[in-house]
Amino acid sequence: MGNCWFKGNPYFNRVSSNATKSESPKIQSPSERTEKEDCQLPSNPKEVEALRKDTARNPLIAFTFEELKRITKNFRQDSLVGGGGFGRVYKGFITKDLREGLEIEEPLRVAVKVHDDEVFVHVCRLRLFLGQLSHPNLVKLIGYCCEDDHRVLVYEFMPLGSVESHLFSRVMVPLPWSTRMKIALGAAKGLAFLHEAEKPVIYRDFKTSNILLDEEYNAKLSDFGLAKDGPVGDKSHVSTRIMGTYGYAAPEYIMTGHLTAMSDVYSYGVVLLELLTGRNSLDKSRPVREQMLADWAFPLLTQKKKVLGIVDPRLSEDYPVKAVQKTAMLAYHCLSRNPKARPLMRDIVATLEPLQQLDETLVTVWR
C-alpha cells in the first residue's frame, strides 16, 4: 500500500453535485470562523491503520486500488449508482478469487465510494471509527483503500436505495403505512445506538436521502460525512460550524451552532412528518405557508381529526387511525422548540415498537 497523506481542510460545506430543485439546500455557516473542532478519532494514516487492526467486532479490509478496479469493472459508467457532496458511488461484487485468504460470503455485493481528496480526511477518519460500531440499522463499512492519491470506502450494498427515492417518487408504488412505520423504527434504532455508544456520535444530517433500504425494507443510516463526536463529561453541547440541510436542522442549532443529540431528534421528527404526509421537508413549489413542512404541520399534529387531513393521500386512507394519531403526537414532541422537552431516541423506539403490532381490525379510518 502506498503512502497515504491526508490533505486539505476536512470541515467545509458542499451541496450535492446531483442536487435537484426539490432537494433541500445545505446550510452553511454565516461566519468565517475556523475554530478547531475537538475530535477523538484518528488523525493520521498510522492511527487509521492501528484502529483498523484493533477492530475486533467488525474488521475492515484494506483493499488495493487494483482490487477495487476489478470489483467495479474498472469503475465503468454502468457501475455508477450515484454521487453527491462526498463522492461518487459504484456498485460491484467481491468474490473469493479477488485475493487469497479473503474470508467473505461470496459473491458479496458492495457499494464503492470514491472520495475527493479534500474531503477524505474527515470522512475516512469518522467512518473508519464507525466501522467499529456494528448495528443492523447502520450501513456496514466493509473496507477501504488509502493508496497513493486514491481515497475509497467500501460498504454493503443497499439494493432498494434511499427512503427519499421511494417516498417522493412519481413512478414507484407508494410505501404502505406498515412499511413506513418499519422504516421509522429502524432509523430510530440506528440513531439511538449512535447516541448511546461508548463514545456518543451526533449524526447531524439525518434525512430521508441518508436512510437506505435493504431488500426487505430494513432501514440503515448511511453517509456519516457530517457526523460529530457528542459532548463528553459535564459538557452539554458541542460548539461547531453550522452544517446540515435546511428543513431538517434544529432551529437552536442554526441560531447558536450548539449541537446536541436533541438536534438529531428534531431532524428525526421532520423525517417522521415526511413519512406521515408524503411531503418534502422543504418544497418551494407549494404556497408560502406550506413550504417548510415542520412549520406548517406542527400546529395540526395534536388535533386528532385535522391530522388525518394531512396524511399522504397516496395511502388512500389505508392506515390505522390510532397509529397515525400516535405517530403525529410523537412527531410533535420531537419538533418541540425547547430541545430539553424532546424525547430521547431510546424513548422514541419504545413508542414506535407497539405501533408496529397495532391491530388494524380495531381501528377504522375517519370518514
pLDDT in tens, 77-118: 888 887 766 678 999 999 888 888 787 777 899 999 887 655
| Residue 207's pLDDT band (cuts 50, 70, 90) | very high
Topology, domain 26-156: Phosphorylase Kinase; domain 1 (3.30.200)
Over its C-alpha atoms, the chain yields an Rg (Å, rounded) of: 21
pLDDT at 65 over 50: yes
Q: Same fold for the domain at 26-156 and the one at 163-362? A: no
CA-closest candidate to residue 205, choices 259, 279, 155, 273: 259
pLDDT in tens, 33-58: 333 333 344 455 555 556 555 555 44
Tell me: is residue 113 an annotated ligand-binding position: yes
- Which range has the worst mean pLDDT, 183-187, 334-338, 363-367? 363-367
pLDDT at 263 over 80: yes
Every domain of the chain and the residues it spans? 26-156, 163-362
| Residue 200's pLDDT band (cuts 50, 70, 90) | confident
223 catalytic residue (yes or no): no
Q: DSSP string spanning 243-280?
A: -EETTTS-HHHHHH-EE-HHHHHHHHHHHHHHHHH---
Average pLDDT over residues 305-319: 95
pLDDT at 122 over 60: no
Q: Which three cell numbers stand for residue 342?
A: 424532546
Topology, domain 163-362: Transferase(Phosphotransferase); domain 1 (1.10.510)
> Which residue type is seen at 22?
S
Active-site choice (205, 223, 264, 283): 205
Distance CA 233, CA 200 (A): 11
**What's the pLDDT at 234?**
53
Distance CA 273, CA 335 (A): 10
User: Which residue stretches of 55-207 are H helix?
Assistant: 65-71, 117-130, 163-167, 177-195
Q: DSSP string spanning 100-134?
A: TT----SSEEEEEEEPPHHHHHHHHHHHHHHTT--
**What's the pLDDT at 283?**
95
pLDDT at 305 over 80: yes
Distance CA 98, CA 114 (A): 19
